[in-house]
Amino acid sequence: MSLFDFLDLSGTLVFAIAGGYRAVRHDLDFLGVLVLAVLTGIGGGLIRDMLLGATPAASLNDERYLIICVAGGLLALFAARKVAKHWNVVQFADAIGLGVFAAVGASKGLAYGLGPVGVMIMAALTATGGGVVRDVLVREVPAVIRHDFYATAALIGGGVYYLALMGDVAEPVALWTTAFVTTAIRFTAMWRKWGMD
């Protein structure tokens, strides 16, 4: 498995659990939990692939993504109480997913020939798109327009990726650096309570 695939699948699992757990809290039934887990896990990537023209979208063609989403949803469903008790762990994992998806999105944006702003947008969209779809379906105002340092962290991560590649940094190093920077900004924002309501 390539580093890109490893990061993408890890982010998908983390987001699927978070999405499934949100469905549990909204008292959705079995299928509702699975649908939200799948859409949160792969939603950002689906929107990114449609915008780039990378079709059929990767996560539809690769059964691993959907199996991982379903596993994440089942985990959220059957271990909801444990998930709730360790909510800070979920937040922690979500911040890691944000970083990982920012790296994946930036990499794919650059591969499709986008410039610096486009790469940053792809990073932020990949990292936040699934959460937006999830929030719209359960009728919450998406976190991305309420919390300042969520999408911003991914945007900055995308900029770091672009600069790194322009500066001839090796792709794996750029991917890890992007994920690290994005997650670190998000952690700092959570810790200092930047941009929270």
Q: How many residues bind its own copies (CB under 8 A)?
A: 49
For 146, the 3-state DSSP assignment is coil
Q: 100, 90, 189, 85: which is closest to 146 by C-alpha?
A: 189
DSSP string across 85-144: HTHHHHHHHHHHHHHHHHHHHHHHHHHTT--HHHHHHHHHHHHHHHHHHHHHHTT---GG
Q: Tell me which of 35, 77, 127, 164 binds its own copies, using CB under 8 A.
A: 35
> Should residue 46 be labelled a site residue for its own copies when binding is judged by CB under 8 A?
yes
The pattern of x and - marking residues 121 through 140 that bind its own copies according to CB under 8 A reads xx---------x---xxxx-
Contact between 145 and its own copies by CB under 8 A: the answer reads yes
CA trace torsion 139, 143, 145, 148 (10° rounding)? 170
At residue 27, φ and ψ (nearest 5 deg) are 60, 30
In the shown chain, the binding pattern of residues 66 to 85 toward its own copies, with x for contact by CB under 8 A and - for none, equals xx------------------
Among 142, 171, 177, 180, binds its own copies (CB under 8 A): 142
- Nearest-Å Rg of the Cα atoms of the chain is 16
Stretch that binds its own copies, among 7-15, 63-71, 73-81, 174-182 (CB under 8 A): 63-71
Does position 148 bind its own copies by CB under 8 A?
yes
* Span near its own copies by CB under 8 A; candidates 10-18, 85-93, 118-126, 170-178: 118-126
Determine, following the binding rule CB under 8 A, whether residue 193 of this chain makes contact with its own copies. Answer: no
Alpha carbon distance 101, 105 (integer Å): 6
Contact segment (CB under 8 A) with its own copies among 3-11, 32-40, 80-88, 168-176 equals 32-40
Considering the complex, what minimum distance in angstroms separates the CB of residue 173 from its own copies?
A: 25
Residue for token pair 């970083």 = 99
